[in-house]
């Protein structure tokens, strides 16, 4: 299981880093926030269009390492069309997934394709890269604009 995930992790990260999905600045987003991970230098801006309690559009811009870019790309795919509540609970699930003990079998139920990021828990320095976009999403939804920090 972990070996399959590890391989999938590498190919998925490479693919999303090369061709990030939803990498654009939308017209008049209802929510947006900036995120910065000083440990790695990753920067991201997350844009959302929220209507009737649902994330109808999600996109991002930024520059950073492959993991931060791939994570932001996959996050926008995962939350697009989801109720805000679900997007926030996915933040919690994703956070648990990447910060769990490396020895434990990761809890991948309910996170879909994001399960590949379970591999990150073996590289503690990379956890902040993987969670940056998610912290920024949370900040956009809850504060509507302050800079999210991974600290």
Q: Does 88 bind Zn ion (CB under 5 A)?
A: no
Question: Hey, what are 69's tokens?
Answer: 């870019």
Question: Per CB under 5 A, which region of 28-36, 53-61, 88-96, 127-135 contacts Zn ion?
Answer: 127-135
Question: Per CB under 5 A, which region of 46-54, 65-73, 80-88, 100-108 contacts Zn ion?
Answer: 65-73
80: Cβ–Cβ under 8 A, 6 or more apart, which residues? 22, 55, 56, 57, 58
> How far from each other are the two terminal CA atoms of the chain, in whole angstroms?
31
CB of 150 to Zn ion, least distance (A): 9
CB of 149 to Zn ion, least distance (A): 14
How many CB atoms within 10 Å of residue 70? 27
Between residues 11 and 63, which has the closer beta carbon with respect to Zn ion?
A: 63
Between residues 32 and 42, which has the closer beta carbon with respect to Zn ion?
A: 42
Q: Does 40 bind Zn ion (CB under 5 A)?
A: yes
Distance, CA of 126 to CA of 108 (rounded, Å): 19
Q: Does 133 bind Zn ion (CB under 5 A)?
A: no
Q: Does 71 bind Zn ion (CB under 5 A)?
A: no
Strand partners, 39: none
Q: Does 129 bind Zn ion (CB under 5 A)?
A: yes
Q: Does 42 bind Zn ion (CB under 5 A)?
A: yes
4: Cβ–Cβ under 8 A, 6 or more apart, which residues? none
- Give the neighbor-by-neighbor strand order of the sheet with 148-149: 54-63, 42-51, 31-37, 148-149
Q: Does 68 bind Zn ion (CB under 5 A)?
A: yes
List interacting residues with Zn ion (CB under 5 A): 40, 42, 65, 68, 129
């Amino acid at each position: 299981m972990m070996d399959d995930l590890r391989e999938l992790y590498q190919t998925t990260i490479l693919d999303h880093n090369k061709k990030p999905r939803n990498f654009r600045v939308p017209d008049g987003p209802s929510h947006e926030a900036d995120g910065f991970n000083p440990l790695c230098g990753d920067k991201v801006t997350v844009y959302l269009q929220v209507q009737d309690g649902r994330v109808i559009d999600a996109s991002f811009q930024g520059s950073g390492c492959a993991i931060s870019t791939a994570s932001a790309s996959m996050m926008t795919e995962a939350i697009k069309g989801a109720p805000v509540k679900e997007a926030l609970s996915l933040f919690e699930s994703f956070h648990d997934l990447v910060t769990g003990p490396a020895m434990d079998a990761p809890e991948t139920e309910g996170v879909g394709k994001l399960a590949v990021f379970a591999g990150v828990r073996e590289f503690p320095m990379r956890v902040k890269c993987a969670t940056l976009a998610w912290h920024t999403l949370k900040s956009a939804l809850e504060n509507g604009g302050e800079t999210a920090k991974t600290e």
